[in-house]
Structure 1
Amino acid sequence: MSSQPRRSRLRRGLLSALVAASVAVPVAGAAGPAAVPSPAPTVHGPLPAAAPRALAERYAATRADIGAAERAAAGHGDRKRAAALHAMADPARGFLSFDGRDGGRSVEVFGDLSHAERIAVLVPGAGIGVDHYWRLRNGARALRGELGERSAVVAWLGYETPATVSPAALTSGRADEAAPELRHFIAELRRLRPAARTSLVCHSYGSVVCARAAHGLRIADIVLYGSPGTGYKDAAALHTPATVWAGRGGDDWIADVPHAELQLPFADIGFGTDPVSPGFGAEIFAAGDGGHSDYLKPGSVPLRSIARIVAGTARSAEPSGERHA
């Protein structure tokens, strides 16, 4: 018997196991973070300018919204949420927007946006909300540190991310909802800083969000890492003038996720072509031997690679057949 049928059965079996495991997750557990009450934000509308004074005023106003959410969480008895919000309300931090409802959404700036010549918009994957925001923050700080002066990293938690193991993480529903918001934010950022070199840096399920938002998006690069797929056959199908990059660490479990799409009556499961495969057509960057959460670790190979892409100094690397098989 040839190896191809065996591989096909294995892929289908793995996909079925993923679906079964996701459906088995208790709904109440997934709803927990969203159940913590939070007031509606008072900060609305686009930032009028990226000048230091305008940014300082926006940061102060958003800080007040975070403080109100912290008090609501404390009153609800959720000490973990209140502690996370207290850290986010630190006067040294700068949030362009914040909404504590439905698990939390926020946009935080690392670096001086008013003078940045290179801007990376970091889009997270599943399992990131207010309670686990530190994961996104750590990665954003590491990337900003690698990029150095005249750069800014924007941690864009502008959507309700799916739980890591859930039916929503296997479909494009959340990405479809998030894409218009991401497109709108990129348009505002381009209006504020039209001369800056802007890149989307997209982790795991965040790569599905970026792919959905990519059509016609006039930015320098779209970086997909730890990606389960995008829902598109190849990079050309994203219809963007941006250079599309892809990388995957040698110990990333996402390599074992079947790169297939399964059409069911209620949803399409899976995201199709592997972005690091030759058939997808992305530029491949060196991603080291780390795992799914290791891409933006300080001093790591993928962090340096991603920083070079954002800076515009990267070169494509040939992928290892063993790593990306």
Structure 2
Amino acid sequence: MGRTTGADNQLLTQPATPTTPRPERNRRRRTTRTTLAALIAAAVVLPLSAATRPTIPAPPPPTLAPLTATTLDSTYKANRTNATEAAAMATTHGDHKRAAADDTLASPSHHLLHFDGRGAGRITEVFGDLAKATRVAVLVPGSDTSIDTYDRFRATALSLHQRLDNTAPKNTRTAVIAWLGYETPATISPTVLTSGRAAQAAPQLRDFVADLHRITGPLTRISLLCHSYGTVVCGQAARRLDVSDIALVGSPGTGADKAADLHTAARVWAARGADDWIAEVPHVRTDFFGTTVGFGTDPVSPTFGARVFAAGAGGHSDYFRPGSVSLTNLARIVLGETKEVGRG
């Protein structure tokens, strides 16, 4: 699920905004309900297929050796080279915005486990020394996240990485991964109300987590931190995922009625900021002409059964804001400091 006013992840390094006054909050909620009603109507009358995106030429991803600790450097180099080639092709095509985004990703400061510049794009970027990490966080984004908006998603990963660097115990080594491994739905589209994109993404997320364990070894603890529509992806992938924790923030629902229905041995966490408009999303799952619309039980409700933690007064894009209550608790979850996590 995405923001009704644009891309799913704002640049999260901006200062916090004051809590919205009640009259303004009520007005926003009425607007949100109207927008949601329009989206549901669109889901009934429009084809539930991907919105058409402009075709942007780019080379296919390079053929690489299987991911291991010893192949990381060659993988990073090959993907940066691919991003350089993608930038040149986008320039020739006349798409200078995409060319600039590709060129930025080709910088040596970017450690790319995967890069595919075709279409909306796929990016998997590492922050930290993955080969030596004992705690790894994988961030799964929501709607409207693509190469063109990647800098916003990247800011969330950087924010968490910096927090972990500052708070991890001396003998704990951490890494954060921004996993844009699927084509996210557009915010204003029928696809954002169904689990179709999530179902397509789930096998890829499972394969990626398996790759991570080959790189880091079986003793490394991996946490999934899933935002907005990304929580639907994590819900679809949860079964057979070898992770220690799954945190759902700003979730419209996972498609499951309760946490036990995810069939995971991981601890399942959930949080929602006090000013997050996602609270106004109807937490229902309804069949429209053979297509299921909506994602069911609210993950922060007692009936779902997740471990609800505090997220403070923030809005839908504030969960990874530096200094926020939610970021503090997410870092504690990644570090395994579960007794210190503030309850919601």
TM-score (structure 2 length as normaliser):
0.84
Q: Is the 8 A contact 1:223 1:245 kept in 2?
A: yes
Written as runs of structure 1 = structure 2, the 5 A alignment for 1:278-297 is 278-297=302-321
Q: Does 1:46 align with 2:70?
A: no
Q: Does 1:244 align with 2:268?
A: yes
Written as runs of structure 1 = structure 2, the 5 A alignment for 1:106-145 is 106-145=123-162
Paired residue for 2:180? 157
* Structure with higher RCO (Cα < 8 A, 6+ apart): 2
The aligned amino acid for 1:31 is T
Could you tell me how far 1:307 is from its partner in structure 2? 0.4
Paired residue for 2:18? none
Could you tell me how far 1:262 is from its partner in structure 2? 1.4
Q: 1:119 & 1:294 partners in 2: Cα distance? A: 21
Q: 2:146 & 2:43 partners in 1: Cα distance? A: 19
Do the aligned partners of residues 24 and 127 (structure 1) sit closer, same or farther apart at CA in structure 2, a change above 3 Å counting? farther
Q: What secondary structure, in the 3-state scheme, does the structure 2 residue paired with 1:31 have?
A: coil
- 1:236-283: CA deviation from partner (whole Å, max 9, x where unpaired): 000000000000001111110000011011411100000000000000
Q: What secondary structure, in the 3-state scheme, does the structure 2 residue paired with 1:156 have?
A: strand
Q: Does 1:20 align with 2:68?
A: no
Paired residue for 1:218? 242
Q: 1:244 & 1:87 partners in 2: Cα distance? A: 35
Could you tell me how far 1:40 is from its partner in structure 2? 1.0
- 1:163-197: CA deviation from partner (whole Å, max 9, x where unpaired): 11211110000000000000001011112212211
Q: Does 1:64 align with 2:81?
A: yes
RMSD: 2.3
TM-score (structure 1 length as normaliser):
0.88
Q: Is the 8 A contact 1:70 1:82 kept in 2?
A: yes
From 230, 233, 256, the counterpart of 2:254: 230
Q: 1:31 & 1:306 partners in 2: Cα distance? A: 35
Paired residue for 1:3? none
Q: Does 1:86 align with 2:110?
A: no
Q: 1:240 & 1:30 partners in 2: Cα distance? A: 32
Q: What secondary structure, in the 3-state scheme, does the structure 1 residue paired with 2:147 have?
A: coil
Q: Is the 8 A contact 2:329 2:342 kept in 1?
A: no
The aligned amino acid for 2:93 is H
Question: Percentage identity across aligned positions?
Answer: 54
The aligned amino acid for 1:164 is T
Q: What secondary structure, in the 3-state scheme, does the structure 2 residue paired with 1:63 have?
A: helix
Could you tell me how far 1:44 is from its partner in structure 2? 3.9
The aligned amino acid for 1:169 is V
- 1:208-244: CA deviation from partner (whole Å, max 9, x where unpaired): 0011100032211000000000000000000000000
Do the aligned partners of residues 133 and 14 (structure 1) sit closer, same or farther apart at CA in structure 2, a change above 3 Å counting? closer
Could you tell me how far 1:102 is from its partner in structure 2? 2.3
Larger mean CA deviation between 136-145 and 262-271 belongs to 262-271
* Paired residue total: 305
Paired residue for 1:308? 332
The aligned amino acid for 1:106 is I
Q: 2:108 & 2:213 partners in 1: Cα distance? A: 26
The aligned amino acid for 1:19 is I
Q: 1:21 & 1:313 partners in 2: Cα distance? A: 44
Q: Does 1:178 align with 2:195?
A: no
Could you tell me how far 1:46 is from its partner in structure 2? 2.6
Q: Mark the runs of 5 or more structure 1 residues left unpaired by the alignment.
A: 1-10, 320-325
From 88, 92, 105, the counterpart of 1:75: 92
Q: 1:45 & 1:227 partners in 2: Cα distance? A: 36
Q: Does 1:36 align with 2:36?
A: no
Q: Mark the runs of 5 or more structure 2 residues left unpaired by the alignment.
A: 1-31
Do the aligned partners of residues 24 and 153 (structure 1) sit closer, same or farther apart at CA in structure 2, a change above 3 Å counting? farther
Do the aligned partners of residues 267 and 25 (structure 1) sit closer, same or farther apart at CA in structure 2, a change above 3 Å counting? closer
Q: Does 1:255 align with 2:279?
A: yes
The aligned amino acid for 1:153 is V
